[in-house]
Amino acid sequence: MNTLPPMVPATGPAMSDAVFALTLALLLVCPLAPAGVALINAGLGRSRSTAQALLGNLALVAVAAVAFLFVGAAIAGTLPGAHAGAGFTFFAGGKPWNWLGAGSFLLRGLESANPTTQLQLLFEFLAVAMVVLIPWGSGADRLRLAGGCLTAAVLAGFVFPLAAHWVWNGGWLGQLGANFSLGAGFLDAGGAGTVHLLGGLSALAVVWVAGPRRGKFPKEGLSTAMPGHNAVYVLFGCLLALVGWLAWNAAGAILWLHAPLAELPQTAINTLLAASGALMTTFSVTRFRFGKPDASLCANGWMAGLVTSCACAARVSPIAALFIGGVAGVFTPLLVELLELALSVDDPSGAITVHGAAGLWGLVAVGIFSAAQGQLIAQLVGIAALLGLMLPLVYLLFTLLNRAVPFRADADGERIGMDLHELGGGAYPEFVIHRDESYR
Amino acid sequence: MKFAGLLVMPAGFFLTVAALVLFSDTERRAAFVFCGLAVVCLGLVVAVRGHMTERGARA
């Protein structure tokens, strides 16, 4: 194996002014997706931590944007660097393996870059905002702002850019089709793997490192139920997320698959169908199991359907999208229950299931429903890379960070709530905070 | 035990990459990729079990 200088990436077809304007407009609607996730995170947490949760969402997005500007964008390699290169490549088995981006530092040359590259970079800034919000929801009610910001910096500065380069910017996963005749290479136009699976795995790492909320798993008996404090936030967040997701998947299809405009309506319809299928099956499963449908689990199902659509919306038929979402809706409530009751994983937002497991299923489903030979193998190789490398890497990084800056608040902070502990004031000052019996 | 599981996971990933490099025919490549993915999943299961054992010991 020999290391070669950076190689120039293959570029897509030129973009007309009309397509540029449409894609830019879609990208400007995309922030509704992370906004919906932020509302869901806040609603599924406790009332005494709401202000801290929502401020944390803003702080994490800010830290992530800065970290991506200073470090991540260069690693992702979207904007060609000084040597007009897209990354560092070695040869193994007679094939090039582009494993690390070598993009422009501090976005130099952005104004003169081609329109597609500019929009791809904007997409990545929005994607990085989504990635960092996912583990924040899982660490609700005990994760400190400092800890959350550190996780955001690491994810946005190093981990996400590596995955984004591999999948989107001419990296080895995206080139599996050209180099190994595996379909069209690893397909992930909406970020089911790069954003959601990665975010879900980071959520698992955060939960492992920070531990469960105090009183969640008593020494004897079942786990304590700690329901979300505001179903309105959660369900409205789902509607908000739908709007963002429709734009997100359409923009992803244009930018990464170079889809013609005529395919965009079907992409949007598939997004809606995947979410609808998931909601209907989750509704049925929770109705069957508990006698009545569960609002927060139905919200989780809806979001899981949207996450699966990230991988498949631009590539499958409407019926297939409905089926893929429906399957996600079946396993979501069951896996949420399994994680909490059997595996002692305290994940208030359900992000490990909603983003991690549903993202993984979406990636597999694209391979199953694709007619291209070798597409399923390409998807499985991508999943092995994200699961097999990124989870250990993220867990190791978070464990080291936790030693330097403890992620979770002390017992007193958790008892009085993260709002009072970290901000000095609550989100609902007129509410009476009841004594929590689980701390006695 | 958790760290052992987390070490096994990259081994599974390298198995999938080895499948791409070593084999050109679809069947053997697919079989090796499935095996690699199975090793990744095995590592994840061991890591989860390790986490539960740690938690049980602490409680």
A253 vs A263: CA distance, rounded Å: 9
Nearest-angstrom CA–CA distance, A334 and A338: 6
A 63-122 near B (Cβ less than 8 A): 92-93, 95
Count of domains in chain A?
A: 1
In 3D, which of A153, A145, A212 has the Cα closest to residue A407?
A145
**Least confident among A72-76, A77-81, A129-133, A297-301:** A77-81
Range of the domain at B25: 2-58
Q: Tell me if B59 and A217 make a contact (CB, 8 A cut-off).
A: yes
* pLDDT 10s digits, B6-40: 999 999 999 999 999 999 888 999 999 999 999 99
Is pLDDT at A221 greater than 90 in this prediction?
no
Joined tokens for residue A121 = 């970079």
**Is the residue at A431 inside a domain?**
no
With contact defined as beta carbons under 8 Å apart, do A157 and A71 qualify?
yes
CATH number of the domain bearing residue A64: 1.10.3430.10
Whether A432 is covered by a domain: the verdict is no
Task: Supply the range of the domain harboring residue A227.
Answer: 3-426
Give how far A388 is from chain B: nearest CA, Å: 5
Chain A residues close to B34, C-beta within 8 Å: 380
**Count of domains for chain B:** 1
What pTM was estimated for this model as a whole? 0.94
pLDDT of residue A225: 86
**Confidence bin at A83 (pLDDT 50/70/90):** low
Q: What is the pLDDT of residue A10?
A: 46
CB contact residues (below 8 A), chain B span 20-59, against chain A? 20-22, 26, 29-30, 33-34, 36-37, 40, 43-44, 48, 51-52, 55, 59
For residue range A153-174, what is the model confidence (pLDDT) as tens digits? 999 999 999 999 999 999 999 9
Residue A359, amino acid: G
Residue A414 to residue A134: CA distance in whole angstroms: 21
Contacts with A389 from chain B: Cβ below 8 Å:
9-10, 13
pLDDT band for position B1 (cuts 50, 70, 90): confident
* Residue A165 covered by a domain: yes
> Is A434 within a domain?
no
**Residue A96 belongs to what H/E stretch?**
strand A95-100
Contact A44, A137 (CB under 8 A): yes
Q: Chain B: nearest CA to A19, how far in angstroms?
A: 37
Return mean pLDDT, chain A.
Answer: 92
What's residue A7's pLDDT? 39
Q: Chain B partners of A400 at a C-beta cutoff of 8 Å?
A: none
